[in-house]
């Protein structure tokens, strides 16, 4: 009798944890549009809808800037840093009139000091598309503001150091401290925390950015960090699905893969992502890694309907926003053209195309794909509904 009771409790534990950990962020089914969101959607033109799908660096709106990104270099490259775009100019305003944008992500080179950042964000707020303000502010080595000497904010050694304390409250403090200053400066979304489980000692891209090599340690750290951000008024994003911790190569520069099976991922990587989903994560960022023993091909997860739809949406039940990692990274640009990448990731199931190598070209490609029937407007609407709902949630908390 005691053994039967124990087995029942173990079987019921995931359900009990899910019920206990869900937050108000995820109370409504995102697939069921509210009247307000639906009314807004019906008034939008196709171009306005497509614009909502793109979250770009500021340089993408300035078509007078001509630089050739070396294959495999992202928006933090020296070539772009030298431009030091830190204000909205007339060209950007002109491009934006025809190309509305759903979000802007700022990098370290876009940020000088508090006065400049405040002015820049005010200018971005006035752009067409009502863009949300985004940043990669994980803490540790990826902290665009925290690592800027002109900002006197609390800094953190690494997420690994926080994980090593074994106390999830330290992860909450980290998320809350970062969220507090991001909210003060005007940011809406922090592309953090890293939910990867750093199981490969040869990993050169994740490493100390992850909380732990043990998913049982990492999972509560991830959810507490998310809660800290939320309590500070900032929306977090767990990354990089389905897990970048067991890879060797760096997707900024080229192809990377994990040879794990899905069952092996369920025993490791999915523990942290499931925890984030159950908590109510509003955004999940994809990894550009191949998962051949899951999908049967070398297609990056960002471009794979098996990973994004079959696994993340259907099996794990995630219904909120899927955002790609930066599409200008080598793992994408070495395999796909700018147009193929933008259209392909939407076909695979992503909602937000982050950092395309050429925003104007990618935007035009998606519009043409709808006009040609390669993508349906109904498919575009699915993603726009999720994005508009998030924007309303963010607006309501301000």
Which residue in the list 188, 196, 325, 351 is annotated as catalytic? 325
**Angstrom distance (rounded) from CA 173 to CA 307:** 32
Does 252 qualify as catalytic in the annotation?
A: yes
Alpha-carbon Rg for the chain in angstroms: 20
Tokens at residue 253, please? 């520069």
Instruction: Name the active-site residue from 252, 288, 351, 364.
Output: 252
- 325 carries an active-site annotation: yes
Catalytic residue ranges: 252, 325
């Amino acid at each position: 009798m005691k053994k039967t009771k124990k087995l029942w409790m173990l079987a019921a534990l995931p359900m009990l944890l899910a019920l206990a950990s869900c937050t108000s962020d995820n109370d409504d089914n995102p697939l069921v549009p509210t009247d307000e969101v639906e009314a807004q959607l019906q008034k939008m033109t196709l171009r306005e809808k497509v614009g909502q799908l793109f979250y770009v660096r500021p340089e993408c709106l300035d078509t007078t800037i001509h630089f050739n990104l070396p294959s495999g270099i992202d928006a933090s490259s020296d070539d772009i840093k030298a431009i030091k775009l830190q204000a909205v100019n007339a060209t950007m305003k002109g491009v934006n009139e025809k190309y509305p944008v759903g979000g802007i992500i700022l990098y370290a080179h876009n940020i000088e000091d508090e006065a400049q950042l405040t002015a820049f964000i005010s200018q971005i707020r006035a752009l067409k598309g009502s863009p949300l303000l985004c940043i990669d502010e994980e803490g540790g080595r990826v902290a665009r503001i925290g690592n800027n000497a002109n900002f006197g904010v609390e800094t953190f050694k690494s997420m690994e150091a926080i994980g090593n304390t074994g106390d999830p409250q330290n992860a909450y403090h980290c998320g809350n401290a970062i969220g507090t200053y991001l909210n003060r400066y005007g940011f809406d979304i922090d592309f953090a925390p890293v939910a990867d489980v750093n199981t490969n000692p040869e990993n050169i891209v994740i490493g100390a950015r992850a909380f732990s090599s043990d998913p049982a340690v990492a999972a509560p750290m991830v959810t507490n960090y998310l809660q800290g951000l939320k309590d500070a008024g900032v929306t977090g994003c767990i990354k990089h699905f389905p897990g970048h911790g067991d890879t060797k190569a760096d997707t900024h520069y080229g192809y990377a893969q994990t040879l794990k099976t899905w069952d092996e991922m369920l025993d490791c990587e999915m523990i942290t992502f499931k925890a984030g989903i159950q908590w109510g994560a509003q955004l999940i960022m994809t990894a550009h890694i191949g998962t051949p023993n899951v999908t049967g091909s070398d297609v990056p997860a960002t471009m794979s309907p098996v990973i994004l739809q079959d696994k993340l949406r259907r099996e794990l039940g995630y219904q909120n926003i899927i955002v790609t990692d930066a599409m200008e990274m080598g793992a994408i640009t070495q395999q796909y053209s700018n147009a193929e990448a933008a259209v392909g990731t939407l076909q695979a199931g992503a909602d937000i195309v982050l950092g395309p190598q050429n925003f104007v070209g990618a935007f035009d490609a998606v519009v043409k794909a709808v006009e040609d029937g390669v993508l349906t407007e109904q498919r575009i609407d699915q993603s726009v509904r999720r994005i508009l709902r998030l924007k309303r949630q963010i607006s309501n908390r301000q």
